[in-house]
Structure 1
Amino acid sequence: MPLSLTAEHADLAAVASEFAERFAGILDTRGQLDAYSTGGRPSYWSELVDNGLHALHISEEHGGQGGTVADTAIVVEEFGRRLVPGPYVSTVLASAAVAGAEECKASTRGLALFAEGATGALVMPSSALLAVATDQGWRLRGSAKVSSLLSAEYLVVGFNAESATRFALIDVQTPGLKRIAATCSDLTRDAGTLVLDGLVIDGEVILEGLYATYVETLQAALLAAEAAGVMRWAVEASTDYAKLREQFGKPIGSFQAIKHKCANLLIASELATAAAWSAAVALEQDATQQALAAGSAIEAAIVPSVEAVTEAVTIFGGIGFTWEHDAHLYWRRAITLAAQVSPLDDRLASLGRIAVELDRQIEIELPDEDPAFRQHIGKLLDVAATLVNEHDGGRWYSRGSQRTFLAENGLAAPHWPAPYGMGASPAEQVVISQEYFRHGIVQPTSVIGEWAMPTILAYGTEAIKEQFALPTLRGELAWCQLFSEPGAGSDLAGLSTRATKIDGGWELKGQKVWTSGAHAADWGICLARTDTEVPKHKGLSYFLVDMRSASVVVRPLKQPTGDSEFNEVFLDSVFVPDEYLLGEAGQGWRITATTLQNERTQISSGVSAGTEDAMRTLIRDRGFVGSEREAFTSLGQIVAISSAIGALNLRETLRQVHGIQPGAGSSLAKVAQARLSREAASRVLRLAGPATLFAEAPADAVTGQLGVPQVLLGGGTVEIQLNVIAERILGLPRG
């Protein structure tokens, strides 16, 4: 999915794509490769300026379009996907930095110049650029490697002076400034070494109020947007090739190894897009949030873009390893993006230091919000805040409890239809979630009931709805899911539990396994085979089973961690009355799809997958071995990807809020989360060191590692999910 989340941004992406196709097509780019190394304005520049695509983020009073950096990021991503040559990205980086400064002589002049079409480049501060105070200002000496330096007419140069970082807008013709040409790794752009030899910077060119963290985040956001575009190309081009290229009489995309390569590319691409979006959003936030977002954009988008194109080449095979194929041009682009954010370890360690105490946060802003609705929810939660939850053995019993009040006022599951919920739209769910947070109340969950009850509300009789809905919401009934069997895990349609019609109902015989919470459940949703004469997925029916029945035997399964969250369940001639057959016999497969799809809109201002918590604890308690730098770098890497996964999930919420069809984000995030959990557990184990000799290892390092399979296997193995992503989302043929 592209960076755009709104109809307006989708339209802008379409305009950028059409522009690239008309004025900067890949064939034209290939025909002019020799020209790009010398710099200058590319042939399409005047048309670009006429269309205003260079000045989307510049205010109208300074001659721009009055938009935001997020608008420009949409174009950057699309231009990256199309491999548009020349200094577009370096120019918008420079002009966006100027736009981020306070109103001053340098910013006013710079914005006018860039709005008129001047080209530019950004030079980040570094120890290689030295500044010495003089009577005239600061005298700069040193050098820096700069992308699109030869094309730039103006430079935004960062330097450290008097314990502060400053930025200046400098004309490349200024005395004391020299540009030494070099062959850029990206053959569609130029590059060179900037040499400053006694260049004097005075107050006339200083960009007041422009801070290093902001500029670093800006750079990360736009370079990540371009990386996301490069990775989208890698996904699209390699997947299209896998559908057409045949080996052994079949399209190579039908082979599982290729399927998994393509699916993994898609996951990496979507994480990159989410991280780029998060960094663009962070430009409106404080410095710590900017630093967290910038680190994620670098680690989850810019750096992986190199590996993404490498992987695409392995799908193309030999043809992708030729000069004539476009792959190496995208590969080179990705390499130069990563080069501009080095050194990486320093950034990750810095990210880890911040992330020890802070999470990435994004507050959702709602279009056309109804203040009266928020006020109504606030008043209900004001009352709820005065109530307490009372329970006995895990069962809520006081009808005056907070849980009961929330259930009976539609706030326990507001996305359910009335009278049990509010039929809340995605936008209204956001409001409700925000109000829960503001009141310090945890929104209740019925766990498996979150999936079971929407299905019952869709297919059950009024009597069944009344029997189960409110008791479930009040926490009086717990549910489990009787789907998986010893011979039917990922292949759910292959289950063998039989349901035979008898007088007044059905007799169920069979075994279920890996059933979470069955030992504490009151009722279970159960799939059983009612017809063996039809294709296996058509012969299934959906039942509600009383788990307290004497014919239901639950045997807890002890896990390597010592816990017993899972169970095997034996259905020994269990009688299920007719009214507990949901829908009609044979509809089980279709009804199950409803169950699996009925998750509420997951709303949270916290943008994190939560996999870093154990590592945080380890560092806070100083239970790690090795250097602080190593510990912080490890945390930084995990937090960077965790934040990207959280941003991916949040983007799915925003799609719903904006009325856009949800994408594949939740499916992709599930795989990414499982893998990150595995990686995080391994890192915690390594950091804990010799302490893992004992069962009481810090940060639950041992039990965390032993619990990893639960994430990798639960809800379908990662490998099965990759097949599903490849076939259902990318459209690759079945094997």
Structure 2
Amino acid sequence: MAIALTDEHRALAETVAGFTARHAPITATRADVDRLAAGAEPAHWPELVRQGLHAVHLPDEFGGQGGGLDELAVVVEAAGVALLPGPFLPTVTASAVTTLAADGPTRGRLLRAFVAGATGTVVPPSHGITAARDADGVTLTGSSLPVLGLVSAAVVIVGARCGNAVVWLQLDLDAPGVTREAVEGTDLTRDVGRLVLDCAVGREIDGIDAAAAHAVVVGLLAADAAGVVQWALTASVEHAKVREQFGRPIGAFQAVGHKAARLFIAQEVAAAVAADAIRSVSQDADQQTIAAETAIVMGTGRAVDAVMEAITIHGGVAVTWEHDLHLYWRRAISVAAQAGSVRTATGRLGEAALRAGRDFTIAVEDDEFRQSVGRVLDEAMTLPPDEPSTDDPTKVYTRGRRREFLAEAGLVAAHWPAPWGLGATIAQQMILADEYAKRDLTPPSVMIGDWAVPTILTHGTDAQKERFAGPTLRGDIIWCQLFSEPQAGSDLASLNTRGERVAGGWSLTGQKVWTSDAHHADWGICLARTEFDVEKRHRGLSYFLVDMHAPGVTVRPLRQPSGDAHFNEVFLDDVFVPDDQLLGERGQGWALTLTTLLNERTTISSVMTLHDDDRVRDIVEKGLYSGDRRDAVQALGTIVAETNGVAALNYRESVRQLNGDLFSPGASVVKVASAELSRTTAAISLDLVGPEASLRQAPADVVSNEMFVPSFLIGGGTVEIQLNVIAERILGLPRA
């Protein structure tokens, strides 16, 4: 996947790919590295300008293409995939920062120059240039850090500290006190220089906000890095499919498949955080800071390691001068260095996260639907709050008049088809969630019923739909899932629970395990073997609806290390299941199970992304940490970056679905990223509280939280199973 989410953006990326293939192939770049390092104009530049690829984001009133920063990010990423050489990235970064300026002659003059093909670069305030203002204007003094595109730039825009403010100037390159020093860069495809200023003068550019400019600079660097990682992934997968060892492609070895799958996840996250940094430019300063620092930590800061993974998949051939991987490796190192230190970014992000959280709201327009559900929710709030229906400490299972009212209105599970739901679209579901949140109203939950009942509604009889859908919505039925067995976890086709035909129905005998909330459940969805002589074992399964209070059903809670019992083992001893509780046809259980598992994994992946940073934030805010505050804030920044990375993935999944793309790899990607986030969060929480973690009642409940981590790593399909899914079904690597 890439930053592009729409057909128009994908077409734009293909245009860039076509341009680079024709005008800037890597073979030509290799032959031109000395000229590029000296800041010479690459041969493709006039044609690139003629096609307007450098001006997709510039207003049409100045001759640009009239797009925005979203379009520019797509182009930059595609250019990164192709390793487009020369001043393209620093130039479009300079012109993008210029678009932030106040309307006026200076802005207009610069934008027209950029449209006409002027090259440029930006020296951000972080480089330490200082400004002094007197009656004659502003002068600049200081030495910059290495700047991409400085040698080739015709326009140099400098952000400098002037007291407590930041001023922006177009540097007069011909004035006294300006020295540009060419230096040998890591990236062989771009020039690098140092800027030395001694009371240099320039023309001030009004209206550029420093936080917005930082988001632009980092967002575009992150887009370039995402392109590099995308190329590394594609090259690695292609190599793993054809390179053979021990008589088979190396991609068939699980270790290699998992490497490729993790590289895919890294690429997805890199694209997501780059796009999010660009999205933040239109938001406030805190949002810009949070998104930009996240893009450094999760995007540019991880690109080098991602390319290293690609190198290990390729093996020795990748560390030869002739292989192109080292050129992308160099690009990743250079881009990460330009974006800035990950450690510094986590500190800034931690401080910003104490002030605000990242806003991942998707603006969806449907005023009629919003007003309609708003009126229903307002009326619901006049009714008494629902009461817990079990002794579960989470109080997630409820019943009451308010819930009954919402169920009747179709707002408990609005995505279910009418008459049980509203058949709500993705956009309408987002609106409904927003309206619930505005009222601080918790939506009633059907928990595992949201896996079970949609399967019934898809495959069941009318009688089954009537029997189970309404009561589930009202909270009268609680569900559990009777799938996993002691010898059949992720490998469900190996299950041994038997379903024997008897008069009027079926007799089920077997053992299930790791069954969440079976001790509260009224009904269970159960997979059992009813055919015993089939060649492929998954074809011999049937799908049953089991009354958990029926004779022969025994539920035994499994006590976890925390002392809680969220899971159970369930024994089925000659349990009679009437014919009208067989869902679908005999032997069709596997097909029905796929429907359930899709709902399960999607639900788990979304639930696990919520508020993962809250525990660490609470530790910092309340001073519960052991050690100094700086380390604690930096730890918070690390977790916030991880959390925002997963949230950015979810955001993109929602946008994809809004655009009609319902078949994306998002569920497996988010499941892995979310599960590992929970593990990292728990570990950092334990570390932060120090010796206090030796107490059972530790601060912020960090010990109990650590002991619940395995449920995230294993539940809904282990991380390793999800990596297999990504490697085989998404990347197309051969099966082991």
Task: Return closer, same or farther for 1:186/1:730 CA change in 2, 3 Å cut-off.
Answer: same
Partner residue in 2 for 1:554:
555
- Verify: 1:326 aligned to 2:327, yes or no: no
Query: Is residue 600 of structure 2 the alignment partner of residue 593 of structure 1?
Result: no
* Aligned residue in 2 for 1:3: 3
Distance across 1 between alignment mates of 2:608 and 2:359? 5
Q: How big is the shift at 1:172?
A: 2.8
Match of 1:490 in 2: 490
Q: Is the 8 A contact 2:249 2:734 kept in 1?
A: yes
Residues 361, 606 of structure 1: 8 Å contact kept: no
**CA distance in structure 2 between the aligned counterparts of 1:185 and 1:160, rounded to whole angstroms:** 28
Of residues 236, 244, 269, the one that matches 1:271 is: 269
Paired residue for 1:316?
314
Cα drift, residue 686 of structure 1: 0.9
Change (3 A) 1:235 1:136: same
Partner of 2:232: 234
Give yes or no for contact 1:508–1:571 (8 Å, CA) kept in 2: yes
CA distance in 1, matches of 2:59, 2:608: 30
Report what 2:369 is aligned to.
373
Amino acid in the other structure paired with 1:621: K
Alpha-carbon distance between aligned partners in 2 of 1:456 and 1:713, rounded to the nearest angstrom: 26
Q: In 2, are the aligned partners of 1:13 and 1:75 still within 8 Å (CA)?
A: yes
Describe the superposition over 1:403-457 as per-residue Cα deviations: whole angstroms up to 9, x where unpaired. Answer: 1111111111111111111111112222222222233322222010001000001
SS in 2 for 1:340: helix
Instruction: After superposing the two structures, state which structure 1 stretch, 167-176 or 311-320, moved more.
Output: 167-176
Structure 1 pair 676–443 and aligned structure 2 pair: CA distance change class (3 A): same
Aligned-residue RMSD, C-alpha: 1.8
Higher mean Cα deviation, 16-25 or 375-384?
375-384
**After alignment, is 134-143 or 651-660 more displaced?**
134-143
State the 1:296 CA deviation.
1.0
TM-score by length of 1: 0.96
> What residue identity is the alignment partner of 2:502?
I
Corresponding residue of 1:222? 220
Name the counterpart of 1:727: 728
SS in 2 for 1:412: coil
What is the aligned counterpart of 2:253 among 248, 252, 255?
255
How far, CA to CA, are the matches of 1:212 and 1:391 in structure 2? 50
Measure the CA separation in 2 of the matches of 1:491 and 1:602. Answer: 20
CA contact (8 A) 2:29 2:85 kept: yes
Displacement of 1:724 after TM fit?
Answer: 1.5
Task: Call closer, same or farther: CA 1:357–1:557 in 2, change over 3 Å.
Answer: farther
Output the amino acid matched with 2:118: A
Shift of 1:721: 1.5
1:602–1:153 CA distance, 2 compared to 1 (3 A): farther
Aligned to 1:632: 633
Structure 2 gap segments, 5+ residues each? 391-396
Check 1:19–1:127 CA distance in 2 against 1; reply closer, same or farther (3 A cut): closer
1:507 equivalent in structure 2: 507
Query: Equivalent of 2:285, from 287, 291, 308?
Result: 287
User: Partners in 1 of 2:590 and 2:79 — Cα distance?
Assistant: 44
Distance in 2 separating the partners of 1:6 and 1:242: 29
Distance (Å, rounded) in 2 between the aligned partners of 1:32 and 1:116: 24
- Find the counterpart in structure 2 of residue 530 from structure 1: 530
Corresponding residue number in structure 1 for 2:463: 463
CA distance in 2, matches of 1:130, 1:669: 44
Query: Given the superposition, is the C-alpha separation of residues 604 and 408 from structure 1 closer, same or farther in structure 2, using an over 3 Å criterion?
Result: farther
Amino acid at match of 2:370: R
**Aligned twin of 2:564:** 563
Cα distance, 1:302 vs. partner?
0.4
CA distance in 2 between partners of 1:92 and 1:606 (Å):
39
Whether the 8 Å CA contact 1:106–1:169 is kept in 2: the answer is: no
C-alpha distance in 1 between matches for 2:234 and 2:704: 40
Could you say which residue in structure 2 is the equivalent of 1:620? 621
SS at match of 2:58: coil
How does 1:372-391 map onto structure 2 within 5 Å?
372-391=368-387
Q: Report if aligned partners of 1:363, 1:605 keep a CA contact under 8 Å in 2.
A: no
The alpha carbon displacement at 1:676 in A equals 1.5
Q: Which residue of 2 aligns with 1:41?
A: 41
Q: Distance in 2 between matches of 1:546 and 1:733?
A: 42
Cα distance in 1 for partners of 2:655, 2:231 equals 24
Q: Which moved more, 1:497-506 or 1:51-60?
A: 51-60
Distance in 2 (alpha carbons) for counterparts of 1:708 and 1:502:
42
- 1:692 to partner: Cα distance: 1.2
2:168 matched to which residue of 1?
A: 167
The offset of 1:603, in angstroms, is 14
Q: List aligned pairs for 1:536-547, cutoff 5 A.
A: 536-547=537-548
Cα 1:551/1:607, change in 2 over 3 Å: closer
- 1:36-89 per-position Cα deviation (integer Å, ceiling 9, x unaligned): 111032111111111111112211112212211111000000000110001111
Report the secondary structure of 1:625's partner residue: coil
DSSP 3-state at the match of 2:55 = coil
Question: What residue number does 2:205 align with?
Answer: 207
Change (3 A) 1:705 1:370: closer
Q: Residue 221 of structure 2 contacts residue 339 of structure 2 at CA under 8 Å; is this kept in 1?
A: no
2:606–2:650 CA contact under 8 A, matched in 1? no
Letter in 1 for 2:623: R
Q: Which residue of 1 aligns with 2:715?
A: 714
Letter in 2 for 1:31: A
1:508/1:528 contact within 8 Å kept: yes
Structure 1 position 545, deviation (Å)? 0.4
Output one character per residue of 1:627-666: Cα deviation in whole Å (capped at 9) or x when no partner. 1111111111111121011110111111111112432122
Q: In the aligned structure 2, how far is the partner of 1:560 from the partner of 1:44?
A: 63
Q: 1:430·1:603 contact (CA, 8 Å) conserved in 2? A: no
Q: Deviations over 1:145-176 (max 9, x none)?
A: 10111111111101000210111122433332
* Aligned match of 2:242: 244
C-alpha distance in structure 2 between counterparts of 1:538 and 1:264, whole Å: 32
User: 1:349 matched to which residue of 2?
Assistant: 347
Tell me whether 526-535 or 711-720 shows the greater mean CA deviation.
711-720
Alpha-carbon deviations, 1:339-388, whole Å to 9, x = none? 1122332221111012134221123133xx44322222222222122223
Call closer, same or farther: CA 1:173–1:607 in 2, change over 3 Å: farther
CA distance in 1, matches of 2:605, 2:137: 48
Aligned-partner residue type, residue 371 of structure 1? D
Q: Deviations over 1:170-214 (max 9, x none)?
A: 24333321111111100001101111122024xxx2221211111
Distance (Å, rounded) in 2 between the aligned partners of 1:306 and 1:129: 28
How far apart in 1 are the matches of 2:566 and 2:175?
70
Identity %: 50
TM-fit CA distance, 1:15? 1.3
3-state secondary structure, aligned to 1:571: strand
- Matched-pair contact (CA < 8 Å) for 2:531–2:587: yes
- 1:619/1:411 CA distance change after superposition, 3 Å: same
Conservation of the 8 A alpha-carbon contact between 1:429 and 1:601: no
Separation in structure 2 between the aligned mates of residue 726 and residue 608 of structure 1, nearest angstrom: 23
Following superposition, the deviation at residue 132 of structure 1 comes to 2.6
The residue type paired with residue 375 of structure 1 is: Q
Q: 1:37 to 1:390 in 2, by over 3 A?
A: closer
8 A contact 2:478–2:522 mirrored in 1: yes
Instruction: Count the aligned residue pairs.
Output: 728
More deviation, 250-259/606-615: 606-615
Moved more, 13-22 or 480-489: 13-22
Q: Secondary structure at the match of 1:138?
A: strand
Decide whether the 8 Å contact of 2:407 with 2:420 is kept in 1: yes
Residue aligning to 2:684: 683
- Paired amino acid for 1:700: D
Q: Kindly tell me: are residues 397 and 283 of structure 1, through their superposed partners in 2, closer, same or farther at Cα, counting changes over 3 Å? A: closer
Counterparts of 1:605 and 1:135, CA distance in 2: 58
Give the CA deviation at 1:620.
1.2
Letter in 2 for 1:377: V
Q: Structure 2 length normalisation: TM-score? A: 0.96
Task: Confirm or deny that 1:415 pairs with 2:411.
Answer: no
Aligned to 2:393: none
| 1:72 to 1:577, Cα distance in 2 relative to 1, 3 A | same
